[in-house]
């Protein structure tokens, strides 16, 4: 408790060393080193505080199981008592005090030599003064109690009083600004820069200025990362230049490639309705189709991923612009350590595809349009609900020559089912029964387990989560874990074709996630998750219910998450939109 | 006079069976002290909390044993409702071990779990061979249900348990080709022990099990595959069926002797082989009823149990080692990682290494497993990592009035070893406590607990 209190005190004191003479307002970047590595600017803290302390949010948080569980912790209630005392002393509530103390903005920077600094601009110099005096008094009393009365120290530098209340903290107030550093020398350097004697500042950096221009103007918070400097770190350089996992490479190569070509990252966080939007921009673009990881390069300006498909009870969807043929053809360059595993994989695929070459005769038959859909299932009443309940998932691809590739895909699929049935038969487990029904105009293949309700009334077997299906409407190819999802996708693709949907220009990845649907599947599996939590964490049932309930609450509040990544105005851009639902 | 010497002097040599199995009544020479309370809870349970030790000290031995062998209806009800079946039936990797460990920690009826663990080793059925989580969960439930009941009923239930047949690679036995694995285990390890019956008895008994198949998780009987002919088993002739074989084999005097010997090793001592004359009264009685609960109760209440013949004469299994720490710390630990950790030091619950179960005794301890045990204890007491600070040595010591380094070291020594260690060890603990220079934080409580766990006697039950 003492340690957390001391940290709070350091921050709070940081928020208030006594103001000296008024200074003309210079931008925070002029206090920072030109070679700052990471800079976070919260330009509108009051807007953030207003949202964070709104009645809805406070009510939702205080009624959440996590909060209720934390309230049983004496350290938390002790902390809240300190906050209450603080509010009474200043005759105001915490959000108002914080709003006045930080209303001009907060800037946090990580600089070379492990130095971290923060600049806070207050709206009310008198309040800043009062709070600082109050907290200094508390710090002195604490130091006295710990038999360390000399812990709180002060010194003058360039006419400014600097304070220390902990070994890794130094702060001062200049005008209505508070400056804090984790090293006293860094505090002096900041004052030197203000006196124009500290060399170049971040405000002079062309890289910083360029990144700032790229950030969304509506942002309430901005982040700048000097990628050129960070790429000197061997770990980061290695991570950007090596691929360990083929799936991760397939998903993230275009983003990692852009970072490899970039000098900076600029991020902006802005409120959008009830949600927030995060935009990440870099100055580099990776669009070389000849590169080993150039399998997401656009051939022309109109190329891009198709919009995500929408089906009933959809949890998530992903649309990727990826040339699978180019990806797999580059496997030896991308994953040299995985050659033997990939050869085994290819040999296996040779069984299903009747000896065809996986690269040239299978993957070359697909277009760079890969979509994945995940949706909650409905279960057959004759079977009951299995435990656990898995969502249905499907992959949708497009064929270059459907007439040629359809029988090849159908044969491979039926061979795979045969292998599954044979293996299950060896273990005396029920097998899949193959069927060829029709949905709309599409005749498709599916396989399901014969219904068998457990005699003892317990949940249905986990196998009833699966009824795999292969459907090939038009030029599309759908592999689905459930028959129901395959049919929904046939409908969704028909709608897309009828609407003559166009690709999302220059977008290589698009993801959408529905929080309430995700919460729904969590609710369906609640009991299993609670039990898992109990043995995994050693929690009591009540604690486990609290944790899972908290997770459910968060997912319920997360209405929709969308992400798109691609090239905009010559910059690589990743945009994330998070819509939240006001708690009911 | 040291406590050891008093108890040593009171154990007659050779041991008189009448004295040995008579009820232990504390007297001036053998007082009811924390030493015997700790001993009882290590053998009949998985260790105890400080409060349990103190309560038992006040209650006296027989009342404490009453609570262990005859829990109240409320306690038994609470145990039955722990509701772990759904998870174990899912067959997920580690779920059976995790939920069983949790039950061992939480149950108000630890003796039943202790005996279910004994039978688990005795039957030696492994999930790796059964390959069906639901059947394995049912098998363990069967062991639990009969753990302190009739061994006759337990064997009859085992002869109808699909997991038994799968676990013994005996899932199909045809008239034309009888599978003798089940019969071999039944006539050997499960009853009379090795070398009592001959190969012909086993082959004849196997004919009684023909017609039984495990198909899709169910044990099924096909009349046409059953050998209806006359079989001669242990000199008894008849058209025997499985239940007859169970009866015949239990009628053989060696069966009761073998089981009593095994339970003696489990509850009394695995160091010395007991004399025939010492076990004779128990064997005679057990052969009549095959009442396990009565046998266990007799052993636990006996003079012999509370004597040097039994005291620290077993090596703790990994399960006993880890749960003993957790019980003392009065908290539930994450049992999923604990199950994996126990497997790494030689005891994978649900997967005995062979149909003979775990060899136990000194086989538990090797340089590698000992290092593993100490590393596990350290991890369990650590505020971070897989066990997430669930066991807080500082808060337990403070709760029981031992806030300083010296007092805490003494407290942990009393909690787990009841202070029964050599004077030099006590002195070492005190010196280490005195050297604890950083009063801030609780790390030194953990160090003190770890130092006690590293004492060799901690490895003994």
Our CA-based measurement puts residue B129 at a distance from the nearest CA of chain A, in whole angstroms, of 12
First to last CA, chain B: 24
Task: Please tell me the distance from the alpha carbon of residue B445 to that of residue B398, in angstroms, as a whole number.
Answer: 10
Nearest residue of A to residue B390 by CA position? Answer: A538
Q: What is the DSSP string of A266-296?
A: EEEEEEETTEEEEEEEES-----TTSTT-TT
What span, in angstroms and rounded, lies between the C-alpha atoms of B267 and B189? 19
- What is the average pLDDT across A380-388? 86
Nearest to B216 among A387, A428, A528 (CB): A428
Q: What is the DSSP letter of B315?
A: B
Decide: A255 and A346 in contact? Cβ < 8 Å.
Answer: no
Residue numbers in B near A462 (CB within 8 A)? 90
* Beta carbons of B405 and B436 less than 8 angstroms apart: yes
CA–CA min distance B336, chain A (Å): 5
Chain B residues near residue A428 by CB distance under 8 angstroms? 215-217
Ramachandran sector of residue B227 (left: φ over 0; alpha: ψ -120 to 50; beta: rest): beta
Predicted pLDDT of residue B87: 57
Give the span between the Cα atoms of A352 and A354, in whole angstroms.
6
Q: CA-CA-CA-CA torsion for B116, B118, B119, B121, nearest 10 degrees?
A: 130
Among A2, A73, A538, A545, the strongest candidate for a mutation testing the B interface, having the largest count of B CBs within 10 A, is A538
State the distance between the two ends of chain A, measured CA to CA, in whole angstroms. 34
Asked if B215's CB is within 8 angstroms of A531's CB, the reply is no
Nearest residue of chain A to residue B331 (CA atoms):
A538
According to DSSP, the β-strands at A170-174 and A115-121 are: unpaired
Searching chain B, which residue's CA lies closest to the CA of residue A528?
B87
Q: Report the greatest alpha carbon distance in chain A.
A: 86
Percentage of the residues of chain A whose pLDDT score is greater than 90: 61
CB atoms within 10 A of CB A3: 9
Residues A258, A253: Cα–Cα separation, whole Å: 8
pLDDT of residue A411: 96
Query: How close B76 gets to chain A, by Cα (Å)?
Result: 19
Give residue A6's pLDDT band: very low, low, confident or very high (50, 70, 90).
Answer: very low
Check A535 against B331: CB less than 8 A apart: no
The CA-atom distances, in angstroms, between A156 and each of A161, A172, A184, A187, A188 are 5, 10, 12, 12, 10
Q: What is the dihedral of CA B18, B22, B28, B31, to 10 degrees?
A: 130
Query: Are B216 and A458 an interchain contact pair (Cβ–Cβ within 8 Å)?
Result: no
Reduced to 3 states, what is the DSSP secondary structure of residue A539? coil
Interface of A with B in 387-406 (CB under 8 A): 387-388
* Alpha carbon A442 to its chain's center: 38
Q: What are the counts of helices (DSSP H) followed by strands (DSSP E) for chain A?
A: 20, 22
Q: Pairing between strand A105-111 and A264-272?
A: unpaired
Span A280-306, average pLDDT: 90
pLDDT digits (tens, 9 = 90+) for B75-118: 555 665 455 666 555 666 688 999 999 999 999 999 999 999 99
Nearest CA to CA, how far is B131 from chain A (Å)? 9
Residues in chain A closer than 8 A to B216 (CB atoms)? 428-430
Query: pLDDT value at position B258?
Result: 97
Residue of chain B whose Cα is closest to the Cα of A540: B332
Kindly list the residues from chain B whose CB atom is less than 8 angstroms away from the CB atom of residue A458.
86, 89
Which stretches of B382-453 are DSSP H helices?
393-399, 405-417, 423-434, 443-453
- A428 contacts chain B (CB < 8 A): yes
**Nearest CA-CA distance, residue B401 and chain A, Å:** 20
Cα nearest neighbour of B96 on chain A: A535
What is the pLDDT at residue A66? Answer: 72
Q: Mean pLDDT over residues A312-336, rounded?
A: 95
- Rounded CA Rg of chain B: 23
Q: Which of A191, A208, A121 is nearest to A157 (CA)?
A: A191
- The total of other beta-carbon atoms located within 10 Å of residue A352's CB is 19
Which residues, 6 or more positions from B378, have their beta carbon under 8 angstroms from its beta carbon? B450
Interface A–B counts its CB contacts (< 8 A) at 47
- Three-state DSSP class for A209? helix
The 3-class SS string of B374-390 reads HHHHHHHHCCCCCCCCC
Nearest Cα residue in chain A from B134: A461
Among residues A440, A520, A449, A517, the alpha carbon closest in space to that of A482 is found at A449
Total residue length of chain A? 584
> Across the interface, do A535 and B102 touch by the CB < 8 Å criterion?
yes
For A146, name the nearest residue in chain B, comparing CA atoms only: B440
Q: Does B332 touch chain A (CB under 8 A)?
A: yes
CA A456 to chain centre: 43
Flag if A540 and B333 touch (Cβ within 8 Å). no
Contact B335 A537 (CB under 8 A): no
pLDDT attached to residue B76: 57
From the CA atom positions of chain A, what is the Rg in Å? Answer: 29
Q: Could you give the CA distance from residue B195 to residue B193 in angstroms, rounded to a whole number?
A: 7
Chain B touched by A455 (CB under 8 Å): no
Select the residue of A462, A531, A540 nearest B332 (Cβ to Cβ).
A540
Q: CA angle, corner A13, sides to A7 and A19, nearest 5?
A: 165
From B17's Cα to the closest Cα of chain A, the distance in A is 45
**pLDDT score for B132:** 87
Give the model's pLDDT for residue A537: 93
CA distance A427 to chain B (A): 9
Higher pLDDT, A380 or A315: A315
Tell whether ipTM is more than 0.95: no
Measured in whole angstroms, the distance separating CA A351 from the mean position of its chain's CA atoms is 39
pLDDT value for A19: 39
The H or E element spanning position B336 is helix B335-344
Query: How large is the average pLDDT for residues A373-399?
Result: 93
**What angle do the packed helices B95-106 and A526-537 form, to 10 degrees?**
70
- Confidence bin at A15 (pLDDT 50/70/90): very low
Bridge partners (DSSP) of residue A373 are A317, A394
**pLDDT above 60: residue A354:** yes
Quickly state the pLDDT bin for A62 (edges 50, 70, 90). Answer: confident
Q: What tokens does A103 get?
A: 């209303």
A142 contacts chain B (CB < 8 A):
no
Q: Which residue in B90, B216, B334 is closest to A538 by CB distance?
A: B334
Residue of B nearest to A529 (CA): B87
List all residues of chain B from 151 to 210 with a beta carbon under 8 Å from chain A: none
Q: How far apart are alpha carbons B420 and B414 in whole angstroms?
A: 8
Q: Which of B352, B296, B343, B350 is nearest to B322 (CA)?
A: B343
Mean predicted confidence (pLDDT) in A431-445: 96
Q: Does A452 touch chain B (CB under 8 A)?
A: no
Kindly tell me the burial class for residue B1, based on how many C-beta atoms sit within 10 Å of its own C-beta (0-12, 13-18, 19 or more).
Answer: exposed
Helix (H, G, I), strand (E, B) or coil at A41: strand
Quickly count: other Cβ atoms within 10 Å of residue B452's Cβ.
26
**Beta pairing partners, A435:** A446
B14 cis-preceded (ω within 30 degrees of 0):
yes
Q: Which of A266, A270, A148 has its CA nearest to residue A220?
A: A270
Which of B82, B84, B85, B90 is the best substitution to test chain A (most A C-beta atoms within 10 A)? B90
- Model pLDDT for residues A481-524, shown as the tens digit of each residue: 999 999 999 999 999 999 999 999 999 999 999 999 999 999 99
Tell me if chain B has a CB within 8 Å of the CB of A534: yes
Which contiguous run of DSSP H or E holds residue A575?
Answer: strand A571-580
Q: Does B93 touch chain A (CB under 8 A)?
A: no
CA A18 – CA A174 distance, rounded (Å): 8
Instruction: Tell me: pLDDT of A397 over 90.
Output: yes
What are φ and ψ of residue A368, in 5° steps? -75, 55
User: Per the CB < 8 Å rule, is B388 touching A537?
Assistant: yes
Checking if the pLDDT of A18 tops 60, the result is no
Using CA coordinates, name the residue in chain A closest to B91: A462
Burial grade of A337 (CB within 10 A; 0-12, 13-18, 19 or more)? exposed
| Residue among A129, A180, A69 at smallest CA distance from A533 | A69
For residue B386, give the chain A residue with the closest CA: A537
* Chain B residue whose CA is closest to A530: B87
Which residues of chain B have a CB within 8 Å of the CB of A430? 216
Give residues with Cβ within 8 angstroms of B55, minimum separation 6: none
CB atoms within 10 A of CB A168: 11
Question: What gap in Å lies between CA A14 and CA A309, rounded to an integer?
Answer: 50
Q: Select the residue of B131, B331, B336 nearest A536 (Cβ to Cβ).
A: B336
Q: DSSP secondary structure string, A479-521?
A: EESSHHHHHHHHHHHHHHHHTT----TTEEEEEEEEHHHHHHH
pLDDT tens, residue by residue, A167-199: 889 999 888 899 999 999 999 999 999 888 878
Residues A93, A85: Cα–Cα separation, whole Å: 10
> Measured between CB atoms, does B325 come within 8 Å of chain A?
no
- Could you please report the per-residue DSSP string of B3-49? HHHHHHHTS-SSPPHHHHHSBP---SSS---HHHHHHHHHHHSS---
Residue with tokens 């999930």: B127
**A354's torsion region: left (phi>0), alpha (psi -120 to 50) or beta?**
left
How far is residue B62's CA from residue B47's CA, in Å, rounded to a whole number?
18
3-class secondary structure for B151-199? Answer: HHHHHHHHCCCHHHHHHCCCCECCCCCCCCHHHHHHHCCCCCCCCCCCH
Task: Give the minimum alpha-carbon distance from B387 to chain A in angstroms, rounded to a whole number.
Answer: 7
Name the stretches of chain B with pLDDT < 70: 1-13, 73-93, 436-441
Mean pLDDT lowest for which of A13-17, A243-247, B437-441? A13-17
> In the structure encoding, which two tokens stand for residue A173, read together?
């107030």
State the smallest CA–CA distance between residue B390 and chain A in angstroms.
7
CA A388 to chain centre: 26
Angle, helix B242-251 to helix B253-267, in steps of 10 degrees: 80
Q: Select from A288, A209, A305 the least CA-distant residue to A251.
A: A305
């Amino acid at each position: 408790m003492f340690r957390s209190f001391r940290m709070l005190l350091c921050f709070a004191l940081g928020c208030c060393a006594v103001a000296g003479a008024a200074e003309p307002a210079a931008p925070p970047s002029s206090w920072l080193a030109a070679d700052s590595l990471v800079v976070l600017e919260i330009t509108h803290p009051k807007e953030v505080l207003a949202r964070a302390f709104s009645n809805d949010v406070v009510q939702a948080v205080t009624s959440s199981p996590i909060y209720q569980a934390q309230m049983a912790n004496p350290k938390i209630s002790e902390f809240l008592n300190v906050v209450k005392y603080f509010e009474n002393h200043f005759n105001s509530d915490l959000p108002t005090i914080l709003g006045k103390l930080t209303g001009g903005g907060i800037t946090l920077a990580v600089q070379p030599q492990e130095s971290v600094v923060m600049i806070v601009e207050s709206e009310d110099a008198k309040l800043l003064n009062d709070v600082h005096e109050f907290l200094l008094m508390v710090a002195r009393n604490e130091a006295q109690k710990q038999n360390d009365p000399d812990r709180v120290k002060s010194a003058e530098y360039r006419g400014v009083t600097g304070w220390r209340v902990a070994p890794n903290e130094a702060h001062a107030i200049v005008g209505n600004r508070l400056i804090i550093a984790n090293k006293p020398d860094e505090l002096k350097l900041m004052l030197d820069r203000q006196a124009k004697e500290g060399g170049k500042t971040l405000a002079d950096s062309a890289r910083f200025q360029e990144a700032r221009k790229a950030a969304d103007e509506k942002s309430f918070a901005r982040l700048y990362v000097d990628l050129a400097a960070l790429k000197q770190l061997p770990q980061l350089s290695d991570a950007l230049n090596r691929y360990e996992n083929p799936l991760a490479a397939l998903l993230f190569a275009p983003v990692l490639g852009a970072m490899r070509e970039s000098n900076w990252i600029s991020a902006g966080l802005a409120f959008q309705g009830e949600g927030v939007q995060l935009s990440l921009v870099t100055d580099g673009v990776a669009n070389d189709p000849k590169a080993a990881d150039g399998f997401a390069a656009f051939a022309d300006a109109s190329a891009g991923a198709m919009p995500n498909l929408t089906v009933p009870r959809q949890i998530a969807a992903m649309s990727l612009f990826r040339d699978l043929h180019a990806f797999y053809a580059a496997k030896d360059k991308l994953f040299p350590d995985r050659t033997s595993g990939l050869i085994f994989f290819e040999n296996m695929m040779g069984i299903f595809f009747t000896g065809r070459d996986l690269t040239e005769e299978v993957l070359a038959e697909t277009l760079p349009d890969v979509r994945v859909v995940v949706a909650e299932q409905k279960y057959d009443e004759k079977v009951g609900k299995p435990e656990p309940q898995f969502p249905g998932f499907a992959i949708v691809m497009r064929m270059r020559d459907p007439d040629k590739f359809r029988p090849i895909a159908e044969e491979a699929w039926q061979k795979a089912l045969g292998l599954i049935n044979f293996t299950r038969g060896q273990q005396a487990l029920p097998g899949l029964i193959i069927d060829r029904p029709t949905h709309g105009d599409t005749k498709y293949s599916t396989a399901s387990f014969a219904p068998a309700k457990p005699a003892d009334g317990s949940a249905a077997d986990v196998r009833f989560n699966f009824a795999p299906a292969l459907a090939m409407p038009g030029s599309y190819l759908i592999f689905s874990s459930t028959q129901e999802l395959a049919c929904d996708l046939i409908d969704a693709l028909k709608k897309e074709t009828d609407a003559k949907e166009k690709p999302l220009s220059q977008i290589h990845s698009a993801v959408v996630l529905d929080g309430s649907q995700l919460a729904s599947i969590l609710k369906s599996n609640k009991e299993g998750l609670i039990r898992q939590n109990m043995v995994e964490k050693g929690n009591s049932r009540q604690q486990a219910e609290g944790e899972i309930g908290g997770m459910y609450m968060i997912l319920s509040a997360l209405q929709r998450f969308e992400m798109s990544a691609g090239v905009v105005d010559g910059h690589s851009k990743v945009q994330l939109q998070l819509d939240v639902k006001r708690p009911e | 006079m040291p406590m050891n010497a008093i108890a040593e002097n009171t154990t007659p040599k050779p041991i008189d069976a009448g004295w040995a199995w008579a009820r232990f009544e504390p007297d001036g020479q053998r007082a009811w002290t924390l030493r015997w309370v700790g001993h009882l809870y290590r053998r009949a349970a998985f260790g105890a909390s400080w409060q349990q030790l103190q309560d038992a000290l006040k209650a006296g031995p027989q009342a404490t044993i009453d609570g262990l062998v005859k829990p109240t209806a409320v306690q038994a009800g609470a145990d039955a409702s722990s509701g772990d079946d759904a998870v174990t039936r899912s067959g997920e990797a580690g779920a059976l071990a995790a939920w069983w460990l949790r039950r061992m920690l939480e149950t108000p009826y630890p003796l039943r779990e202790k005996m279910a663990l004994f039978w688990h080793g005795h039957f030696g059925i492994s999930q790796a061979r059964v390959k069906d989580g639901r059947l394995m969960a049912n098998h363990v439930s069967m062991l639990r249900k009969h753990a302190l009941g009739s061994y006759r009923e337990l064997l009859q239930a085992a002869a109808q348990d699909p997991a038994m047949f799968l676990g013994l690679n005996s899932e199909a036995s045809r008239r034309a080709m009888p599978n003798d694995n089940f019969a071999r285990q039944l006539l050997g390890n499960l009853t009379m022990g090795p070398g009592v019956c001959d190969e012909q008895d086993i082959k004849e008994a196997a004919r009684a099990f023909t017609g039984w198949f495990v198909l899709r998780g169910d044990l099924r009987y096909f009349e046409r595959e059953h050998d209806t002919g006359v079989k001669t088993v242990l000199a008894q002739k008849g058209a025997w069926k499985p239940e007859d074989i169970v009866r015949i084999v239990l009628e053989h005097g060696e069966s009761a002797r073998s089981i009593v010997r095994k339970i003696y090793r489990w509850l009394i001592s695995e160091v010395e082989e007991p004399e025939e004359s010492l076990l004779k009264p128990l064997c005679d009685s057990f052969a009549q009823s095959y009442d396990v609960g009565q046998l266990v109760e007799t052993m636990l209440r006996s003079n012999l149990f509370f004597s040097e013949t039994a005291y620290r004469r077993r090596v703790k299994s990994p399960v006993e080692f880890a749960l003993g720490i957790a019980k003392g710390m009065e908290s539930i630990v994450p049992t999923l990682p604990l199950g994996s950790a126990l497997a790494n030091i030689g005891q994978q619950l649900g997967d005995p290494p062979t149909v003979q179960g775990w060899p136990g005794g000194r086989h538990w301890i090797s340089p590698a497993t000992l290092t593993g045990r100490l590393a596990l204890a350290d991890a369990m007491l650590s505020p971070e990592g897989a066990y997430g600070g669930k066991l807080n040595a500082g808060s337990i010591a403070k709760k029981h009035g031992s806030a300083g380094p010296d007092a805490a070291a003494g407290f942990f020594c009393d909690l787990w070893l009841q202070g029964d260690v050599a004077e030099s060890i006590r002195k070492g603990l005190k010196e280490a406590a005195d050297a604890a220079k950083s009063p801030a934080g609780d790390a030194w409580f953990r160090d003190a607990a770890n130092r006690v766990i590293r004492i060799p006697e901690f490895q003994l039950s």
